[in-house]
Amino acid sequence: MNKLIIFFFAIFLFSGIYAQTPLPIPWQNASCQVQTDTRIRNYIPPARVVWQYGGKEGNLISGLDNLLLPGNGQTDLANNRICVLRSKENEHPSILLDFGRELQGGLQLVTGMPVSHDPVTVRVRFGESVSEAMCEIDGKNGASNDHAMRDFTLQLPWLGVTEVGNSGFRFARIDLLDANAELHLKEIRAIFTYRNIPYRGSFRCNDERLNQIWLTGAYTVHLNMQEYLWDGIKRDRLVWVGDMHPEVMTINTVFGYNEVVPKSLNLIRDLTPVPQWMNGISSYSLWWLLIHRDWYYYQGNKTYLKEQQSYITALLNHLFTKIGKDGKECLDGGRFLDWPSSTNQPGVDAGLQALMTLTMQAGAELAEVLGDADLAGKCKQKEELLRSYTPDPNHSKQGAALMALAELMDARKADSEILSVNGAQNFSTFYGYYMLRAMAKAGNYQGALDIIRTYWGAMLDLGATTFWEDFNMEWLPDAGRIDEIVPSGKKDIHGDYGAYCYKGFRHSLCHGWASGPTSWLSETVLGVQVVEPGCKVVRIQPHLGDLQWAEGTFPTPYGEISIRHEKRGDGTIKSTVRAPKGVKVIKEK
């Protein structure tokens, strides 16, 4: 009897210990490397049905409104709340859904139980615009499956859950392909994949249009902060390091530190041993250095910067060989600023001269922080040599902006003769950030605000929820919205336009390099300027232009700075600033 008691006691004791011990995961062993995804997934029901085809008699679809209801991702035997698609021999139903905003992810399709248990074949098309979701890949309109599948077929099971897709989209079209078939759909939900991070920075003012532009720029970059920092979530799902600079400045402004930045910078560094150019483009290696300077100023992580020292030194020494005795840069590889400027070679040359000058300036700063006085001295000498040569920007707003920022050209002259000519005409989504900064350097704050409202605001007027790879003011006349079927007599802003590598539907409508107004509004209107690395000293110098008030927060490694500016009756500004301990604030009017 005692032995039996001891036996059962042992079982009880063992089961208790076992219940508290995590089950071993078979693949977690010394020979297997497991990567943890830093993102989360949310499930979002459609916001509306944009379009449907229910056959000539309109009876091939029933219960469509059920797809707009919140779901739980679980199929069931009740088979209630079902949308039914029925096909005939030569008639196939289709639906087009709008999920309300641009998303990165895929679709979850939850099916019910029609009479037949056979799998049902459907076609799925993603679109950043209604037109893209409705188009065919014909080799002419730019639509493609490059980078991410946006047009494909699959089979859905009887009474099951299927998850498909990994792309950037807002709209999804579903076609039932099988003839004489019946598809029961309980749910179609977007799978939203993103980093669950707080918006530590903020911006609000008395102009709601500017508020929406600031948030849209922040959201555009947020979507591209996947496992690495991409340029676009439909196309260009790559680490393009030059394109990263506006994105990194937006991250500094909105999110503060995030590991996606050093992770991406390290990736492109390790893929590109000196003397190779990052992404095959010489200016992109320059941007890598400029990003490190700005990242250090905003985040103050000297340990991380030290990890880059050997590469920084090698790259700077290589760049020294790309400066002629006459002070003219002689960069080889891809000579590129942005796509809209690429046909103006003198403008590109001027921009690269300025960019090389800015890089030598940043190189000297980085070298001094890293304790390499000899390298810092060489950078200063090369900077001085570069300043002895002054190119002509040839009316290029990109080239003139960089020259003004590098002080190779008087900022007021650059603004009045080039940047402000014809307002937002010849602006670009990528280099627009530097054009705005150059206009601010010239003191033309009002002109910059007007261009933000006109240029970036026009994308919002066309239904954008994220900012685009490119935008041209000449596309506006008679343009239809991206969130509706293009009316007769209107132009398809997505399918009819675009240039270079982004013609037609290949054009990305979510590109992080287009987020410049977000950081500019915080830097210039709120007036936040980082003076010492790690935001230990920050200058607040607001420029409200025609705004009556502006307020917001700015992230630092020590916490958020809270700021409010109000314009008094006499035009002076009353500022209220609260900074966390560890941050010294210098107020300037």
Please report the pLDDT score of residue 25 as a whole number: 59
Q: In the CATH hierarchy, which top-level class contains the domain 40-194? A: mainly beta
pLDDT score at 489: 95
Per-residue pLDDT tens for 332-383?
Answer: 999 999 999 999 999 999 999 999 999 999 999 999 999 999 999 999 999 9
Token code pair at residue 436: 């705005």
Quote the pLDDT of residue 12.
42
Distance of alpha carbon 213 from its chain centroid, rounded?
14
Distance of alpha carbon 273 from alpha carbon 230, whole angstroms: 21
How much is the CA Rg of the chain, to the nearest whole Å? 28
DSSP 545: T
Report yes or no: 168 and 226 within 8 Å, Cβ to Cβ: no
CB 275 within 8 A of CB 315: no
**Angle in degrees, CA 263, 268, 269, rounded to 5:** 95
Summarised one tens digit per residue, pLDDT across range 401-420 is: 999 999 999 999 999 999 99
d(CA 376, CA 421): 38
Nearest alpha-carbon partner for 116 in 184, 187, 188: 184
- Specify the pLDDT at position 35: 83
Q: What is the pLDDT of residue 7?
A: 45
What is the rounded distance in angstroms from the CA atom of residue 253 to the CA atom of residue 521? 10
pLDDT tens, residue order, the chain (589 aa) = 455 444 444 444 444 444 455 555 555 555 667 888 999 999 999 999 999 999 999 999 999 999 999 999 999 999 899 999 999 999 999 999 999 999 999 999 999 999 999 999 999 999 999 999 999 999 999 999 999 999 999 999 999 999 999 999 999 999 999 999 999 999 999 999 999 999 999 999 999 999 999 999 999 999 999 999 999 999 999 999 999 999 999 999 999 999 999 999 999 999 999 999 999 999 999 999 999 999 999 999 999 999 999 999 999 999 999 999 999 999 999 999 999 999 999 999 999 999 999 999 999 999 999 999 999 999 999 999 999 999 999 999 999 999 999 999 999 999 999 999 999 999 999 999 999 999 999 999 999 999 999 999 999 999 999 999 999 999 999 999 999 999 999 999 999 999 999 999 999 999 999 999 999 999 999 999 999 999 999 999 999 999 999 999 999 999 999 999 999 999 999 999 999 999 999 988 7
Work out the angle between the directed axes of helices 241-254 and 282-299 (0-180°, nearest 10).
20
Q: Look at residues 459, 462, 407 and name the one whose alpha carbon lies nearest to residue 432.
A: 459
Between CA 185 and CA 496 the distance in angstroms is: 34
Residue boundaries of the structural domains of the chain: 40-194, 272-395
* 3 state SS of 51: strand
Q: Both tokens of residue 348?
A: 């590109």
Q: What's the half-sphere exposure (Cβ side, CA atoms, 13 Å) at 327?
A: 15
d(CA 558, CA 567): 29
User: For the stretch 138-166, what's the b/e string if a residue is b when 16 or more beta carbons lie within 10 angstroms of its beta carbon?
Assistant: eeebbbbeebbebbeeeebebbeeebbbb
Q: d(Cα 210, Cα 546) in Å, to the nearest integer?
A: 12
